[in-house]
Amino acid sequence: MKHGTLFIFLFCLLLGGCEKADDFTADPRTNFNALWKIMDEHYCFFDYKGVDWDEVYDRYVGRVDTVKDQFELFQLLGEMLAEVKDGHTNLISSFDVARYWDWYEKYARNYDKTVHDSYLGTGTEYRKAGGLLYKRFAGYTIGYIYYESFQYGVSENNLDYVLLYFKDCKGLIIDVRENGGGSLTYSDRIASRFIENKMLTGYIQHKTGTGHNDFSEPYPLELSPSDRVRWLRPVVVITNRHCYSATNDFVYKMSLLSNVTLLGDRTGGGSGFPFSSELPIGWSVRFSASPLLDIHKNHIESGIDPDVFVNMTSSDIAKGVDPLIDHSVSLLLEK
């Protein structure tokens, strides 16, 4: 292989692969039809969400011929994708990302960063292990962990040190508010520290055909207890609407445990395992392709309710009070 050809080949690999020139087209109708078909054949929640995808096609197709440029085309396709109301479904170009965020933006926040930072204190008042921030409350009797994103790594050693730091505490708070998800590996890794025996945590299905209901039989998912430091005392998991995807998965797994109380607001959901494809114009589309189900084979796409609903009001914020943390501490002190 000549050096010039090799350079081009390696450059294409770095970019994730090169499209053939004949495959590329910016034609609005071609890209509209391609996107609609990709979703029609592979998206997994049409029936669950009551979305008539054929009706969506009829409602949007008439607008395609009025598109003047790629920006208007992107907006049109983004609006069509928003019909499925799915935070895992995005259109991605070099100039924008179409996203559906109403799953949390239209709800109470139940979190304020300034107030939360005051509870954590300065950098010398809390510790940091991987993606976990942690400290002790209530005279060092209650452990507190804040995990901002399941994209931030948490190693087995991180968890050992954190749980050992709380060895004299009577209860533990795990605050996952504002955590929009990330890696399911960390969800399992953390949850495995709170169980005694292998347990069924749910099921997953995969598309087996192009029909909206062409799914495999539900495949069981199990979680084994960690063979390292574990916590079997009372736990409160604090949630809000911005808990999504891997966080929704973690919250659901923790809800199966008898020593765990969920407190706060309903999670945002996001139980569809995402898959990516590409349009002729070169834009990427990501969408939910494989549904994760609970132990009763029901969808958890719409979120998990807490055991105890607690809201943060504007008055609380003005006073510098976080009622979700305060209520969690009180609940654990009573146990």
pLDDT digits (tens, 9 = 90+) for 20-40: 334 799 999 999 999 999 999
pLDDT digits (tens, 9 = 90+) for 171-229: 999 999 999 999 999 999 999 999 999 999 999 999 999 999 999 999 999 999 999 99
User: In angstroms, rounded to a whole number, what is the distance separating the alpha carbons of residues 117 and 328?
Assistant: 17
**What's the domain range around 212?**
105-272+290-334
Q: What is the CATH number of the domain that holds 212?
A: 3.90.226.10
Q: Note the pLDDT of residue 149.
A: 96
Please provide the size of the chain in residues: 335
Domain membership flag for residue 43:
no
Domain membership flag for residue 242:
yes
Task: Scan for tokens 């969506």, then name that residue.
Answer: 56
Q: Note the pLDDT of residue 292.
A: 96
3-state SS, residue 212: coil
Domain membership flag for residue 86:
no
Q: Which residues of the chain have pLDDT under 70?
A: 1-22
The pTM of this model reads: 0.90
> What is the bridge-based pairing of β-strands 260-264 and 90-92?
unpaired
Instruction: Identify whether the C-beta of residue 210 lies closer than 8 Å to the C-beta of residue 274.
Output: no
Q: Note the pLDDT of residue 127.
A: 96
CA nearest to 304, candidates 254, 273, 268 = 268
Domain membership flag for residue 183:
yes
Task: Please count the structural domains in the chain.
Answer: 1
Domain membership flag for residue 68:
no
Domain membership flag for residue 1:
no
Task: Scan for tokens 């598309």, then name that residue.
Answer: 207
Domain membership flag for residue 53:
no
User: In angstroms, rounded to a whole number, what is the distance separating the alpha carbons of residues 310 and 308?
Assistant: 6
DSSP alpha helix (H) spans, the chain: 3-14, 28-42, 46-49, 53-64, 70-81, 102-105, 113-120, 156-165, 184-191, 246-255, 314-319, 323-334
22 CB-contact burial (10 Å; exposed 0-12 / middle 13-18 / buried 19+): exposed
Domain membership flag for residue 312:
yes
User: In angstroms, rounded to a whole number, what is the distance separating the alpha carbons of residues 271 and 294?
Assistant: 10
The residues, any chain, with a CB within 8 Å of residue 24's CB and separated by 6 or more, are 280, 281, 282
Q: Note the pLDDT of residue 23.
A: 79
